Amino acid sequence: MRPGNGGLRDLCLLAIALIASATLTFPLHAQTADTPDDMVTRLSGLETAPELDLAALRQRAVDRIKAKADAVPLKRPPLTTELRKLPQFTVGIRFDPDTSIVRPESYQSLGRIADALLRQSLLPYGFLIVGHTESTGKRDYNLTLSQKRADSIRDVLVTTFKISPKRLQAIGLGEEQLLDPAQPAAAINQQFQIVTIAKAP
């Protein structure tokens, strides 16, 4: 028996409800699907180590927030353009809300990152974990949370996956260097960058 118009409408409403539910349950940015080989390719090719002063970069973010400069995210210039020029990839890592506790489902992504960092071709390199947030909430809170989360990722890679702590640094830039400046509140701005920044002599 064919359903009437009411039955079709009910089926459509059910489908829409299921899609909306799935969208609310899972973030718009997915966990990285890159393989360790993909990551190795993206992290390779550093020719000259950049002169990055992480403490000064962090202080610039703090000073900009205290001065209430660039209050409109769309008009906010990046804190540094140098990071964009370095070998890197972005990854979505999930945390418990408003904490730096990595969710269990993200350990698989961190394991793939560790596999890449332990490949022979990347062993001579050092890396920077850069934390970001979207531009919702207070800027100073976002800066602090992004630093804690970047530190947490570093800690997991060091303690769980045995990456040498000498090879990893972490910095949180909050919403001060949006990954997608055109969409300040977009979920992509919650992702993390893994950036090649140093090569051992």
Domain count, the chain: 1
Nearest to 34 by CA among 97, 98, 108, 126: 108
What's the pTM?
A: 0.82
Does residue 63 fall inside a structural domain? Answer: yes
Query: Roughly what angle, to the nearest 10 degrees, separates helices 139-159 and 54-66?
Result: 160
How much is the pLDDT for 118? 98
DSSP 153: H
Question: Residue 69: which CATH number?
Answer: 3.30.1330.60
Domain assignment of residue 160, given as a range: 29-199
d(CA 3, CA 10): 10
Encoded tokens for 97:
């809300």
Does residue 24 fall inside a structural domain? Answer: no
Does residue 15 fall inside a structural domain? Answer: no
Does residue 185 fall inside a structural domain? Answer: yes
Does residue 136 fall inside a structural domain? Answer: yes
Neighbour tally for 32: CB within 10 Å = 22
Does residue 193 fall inside a structural domain? Answer: yes
Nearest to 124 by CA among 179, 50, 198, 39: 198
How much is the pLDDT for 7? 56
How much is the pLDDT for 69? 83
Neighbour tally for 150: CB within 10 Å = 25
How much is the pLDDT for 90? 96
Does residue 47 fall inside a structural domain? Answer: yes
Please give the average pLDDT of every successive group of 10 residues along the chain, which has 201 residues: 51 42 34 79 93 95 92 88 94 95 96 98 97 94 97 98 97 95 93 94 63
Does residue 10 fall inside a structural domain? Answer: no
